[in-house]
Structure 1
Amino acid sequence: MSSCSSGNGKNANKEKLVNIPVLELKSRDIEVPKTYVCDIQAVQFVEVRAKVEGFVDRIYVDEGQFVKKGQTLFQLTSNEFNEMVNSANAKMMQARAEAKSASLEVERLQVLVDKNIISSSELELAKSKRAVAESIILEAESILKNAKTGLSYTTIKAPFDGIVDRIPYKTGSLVTAGDLLTNITDISEVFAYYKVTENEYLQYMREKMEEDSVGLKEEFEDDITLILSDGMEYPLKGKLETMEADFERGTGSIAFRVRFPNPDQLLKHGASGKVQMTNMLEDIYLIPQKSTFEIQDYNYVYMIGKDNKVVVRSFRPMQRFGVYYISDGFQEGDRIIFEGIQQVSDGMEIEPSPVTELEAYDTLSTSN
């Protein structure tokens, strides 16, 4: 009777074990997209400012118009500068005439000295006057050059091919030196600047050095995606070109620069968006978020031992990937409770129900 009673007790305990879905972890290699907020800037952006004071006489372009390098944009009143050029020209002509007269005087005295009619001192005095006249020519040339430069500043031309921005001053407006007349932007291509942390920078540099050591080029450098502010993907891919020299104080981040072609001029200077890059992670484990719980900023899962007993274990996620945590702190063959974590506790024995990879991963969203 005692033996029968003991056997029935064991069967009763076995029947009381809770059947819980259990997932066996396997390492895998995955491509993880990651996005960074970026600032979009034109490859060339120049403020066109007045260099001299004057009234806006004519405006040859309109806002939003495409202009070519050297094309005239604005004309300021130039009467004053024209007079300065005319005055400088007159002084130049006078200086040359005086220099020519001084040269003729030297030649005349040279003949008289050669015939011993006059002393050589008079000739030396004439040569000194000629040197003074020649120096006056140089001074006049400098004044004329400055006058012409000032006159040229009254005609404002495009520094390169680009698009005209807003024109705040209209015809007849008085502008002073330094006033902003407009901006010219070249958006045939654009730069997207985004910031990464120091750890991400170190990871990128190590991968780059590893690729360079075997003579390979990182594929993602020429395959960077831009997500526009409306959530749509920009159709053309970008190329990672360079980075800043220093880390930003306070944030500890450093900016990378990506160049995107912009043949249709869809992207504008000052726009915003997100740069999306794809990183390859090797030998990592995907932990479903519904298999985890969090206590005071620490993440935990329920591990299943060989005796089918539950053991609480903490882990540190590398990052989130859709409805998963990515971690490298597990081993091949580790078993965790897939779902139903509310029904178990530490040290509890369960009846494991294996979950396939198809059930655990392929039926769940992996969108980032």
Structure 2
Amino acid sequence: MLVKNRTITKPAISTAALLATAAVLFSMALSSCGHTNAEGNYQQQTPSLPVFAIAASDANTTEEYTASLEGTQNVEVRAQVDGYLSKIYVDEGAYVTKGQPLFKIDDRSYSEQYNNAGANLEAAKANVEKARIEVDRLTPLVAHNVISEVQLKSAQAMYSAAKAQLAQAQAAQGNAGISLGYTTVTAPASGYIGKIPYKTGSLVGRSEPQPLTMVSDVRNIYAYFSMSESAFLEFVNGQPGKSVEEKLKQIPPVDLILADGSVYAEKGKVETVEGQFDKGTGSIAFRATFPNKDGLLRSGNTGKIRITSHHSGSILLPEEATFELQDKIFVFQVGDSNKVSSKPITVSGHSGNYYLVSKGLAAGDKIVYTGLDRLRDGAVIQPELKPLDSLVSGKPL
């Protein structure tokens, strides 16, 4: 049987059908971005966007700096004599007063040294008395030429030597008494006891690298924080006064933000600034003091110092009305014929959810509030001018 080969072909699509499909797609594209008027001519839609006018007002800006906290006194407690720790009178974290006993070092050998020094002192006193008596005995004999003057001078020399030995014995006893007193270690200042690394029976002494403990006076707390060189210059230039000392006095009370984000109840005062910048970090350190009558703060705590500055007649701009491009902040300003143009601004601080603008804007400028992602330079909008308060829920500080 002879079988013939057959070629299977797809049905052809007509040119008219292709044109019709293209017309439908083009019509759909037009309907998504514009509309046609009564005469059938296409018109592009003008977006309607909220716009507000810039106005100058008073504002408070805040800056925060990482801080480390220390007590006004952090004193190491060290053993002044060598010996075994026989008693520990306090526990870690306890509050102690200046002069309160903290530790007891075995004092038996030091007590014996003191007793021996006392015995030597008594012997020296006896020798002085003996030498004095000898001088008193020889003096009238020399006066009556019974004995030679040389014997009296020799007796007087012995008397002087005895008195010198008495002074040495008194010093030795005093030194032994000091060493014996060092066996009771007392608090050098009032404050809280830190970690105690030693236990009863431990051998301690002056050569030990680790102290017996640390006493921290935390009735007032020092908060140390640093500023960069540019922040320091801006901060100082913004304060009244001629010298740095005068400017520090004008700084308003500052807040301490604790590690859990809460604000410490007491206000602090910035009191000192270091005399030079740290070459390694390029920053300069400040010190603020906070009262700590309840003992909530301890040495070693961390937090943040919040400094609030008041600005009169400032330009405030909500962050929602800005966008960033290449590390710069821009806004869309409405100009003639309702055309928008991007404009860079310089921000000098924050006030809540607002930027404090130092350059780039002036009172009366009209700024687009939202819909910035749909805009380009030269785009025409239909502005809906509204008061800024009606657009923004978060108020500046």
Gaps in structure 2 of 5+ consecutive residues:
1-36
Match of 1:22 among 51, 55, 58: 51
Cα gap change, 1:218 to 1:131, in 2 (>3 Å): closer
1:216 and 1:88 map into 2 onto residues whose CA distance is: 61
Match of 2:364 among 333, 337, 356: 333
Whether 2:263 is the aligned partner of 1:263: answer no
Contact 1:208 1:218 in 2 (8 A): no
Whether 2:200 is the aligned partner of 1:167: answer no
Deviation per residue, 1:179-206 (Å, 9 max, x gap): 5222222222222222222333334434
Task: Give the letter aligned to residue 264 of structure 2.
Answer: Y
Whether 2:291 is the aligned partner of 1:241: answer no
CA drift of 1:16 comes to: 4.8
Contact 1:304 1:310 in 2 (8 A): yes
Per the alignment, residue 11 of structure 2 pairs with none
Per the alignment, residue 4 of structure 1 pairs with none
Per the alignment, residue 63 of structure 2 pairs with 34
Deviation per residue, 1:33-89 (Å, 9 max, x gap): 222221121222222111111111122222232222212111111111111111211
1:366 and 1:14 map into 2 onto residues whose CA distance is: 42
Tell me the TM-score normalized by structure 2. 0.80
Whether 2:302 is the aligned partner of 1:272: answer yes
Identical columns (%): 35
Q: Where in structure 2 are the equivalents of 1:76-225 lying within 5 Å? A: 76-177=105-206, 178=208, 179-210=210-241, 221=252, 223-225=253-255
1:343 and 1:146 map into 2 onto residues whose CA distance is: 88
CA drift of 1:316 comes to: 2.1
CA drift of 1:151 comes to: 0.9
Count of aligned pairs: 355
Per the alignment, residue 373 of structure 2 pairs with 342
SS of corresponding position for 2:212: strand
Deviation per residue, 1:3-36 (Å, 9 max, x gap): xxxxx9xxx8998544332221112220122222
Deviation per residue, 1:335-354 (Å, 9 max, x gap): 22222223332223333221
Cα gap change, 1:13 to 1:365, in 2 (>3 Å): farther
SS of corresponding position for 1:317: strand
2:131 and 2:49 map into 1 onto residues whose CA distance is: 114
Whether 2:60 is the aligned partner of 1:43: answer no
Contact 2:102 2:186 in 1 (8 A): yes
SS of corresponding position for 2:362: coil
1:348 and 1:166 map into 2 onto residues whose CA distance is: 68
Match of 1:61 among 78, 85, 90: 90
SS of corresponding position for 2:90: coil
Q: How much is the aligned-residue C-alpha RMSD, in angstroms? A: 2.8
Task: Give the letter aligned to residue 262 of structure 1.
Answer: N
1:161 and 1:130 map into 2 onto residues whose CA distance is: 49
SS of corresponding position for 1:328: strand
Q: Where in structure 2 are the equivalents of 1:294-313 lying within 5 Å? A: 294-313=324-343
Gaps in structure 1 of 5+ consecutive residues:
1-7
CA drift of 1:293 comes to: 2.3
Deviation per residue, 1:308-359 (Å, 9 max, x gap): 3322222222234443322111222122222222333222333322121212
Contact 1:283 1:328 in 2 (8 A): no
SS of corresponding position for 1:80: helix
SS of corresponding position for 1:277: strand
Larger Rg: 2
Tell me the TM-score normalized by structure 1. 0.86
Higher mean Cα deviation, 38-47 or 303-312?
Answer: 303-312
Higher mean Cα deviation, 202-211 or 347-356?
Answer: 202-211
Contact 1:211 1:218 in 2 (8 A): no
SS of corresponding position for 1:180: coil
Whether 2:261 is the aligned partner of 1:231: answer yes
Contact 2:65 2:304 in 1 (8 A): yes
CA drift of 1:155 comes to: 0.7
2:374 and 2:121 map into 1 onto residues whose CA distance is: 102
Contact 1:25 1:333 in 2 (8 A): yes
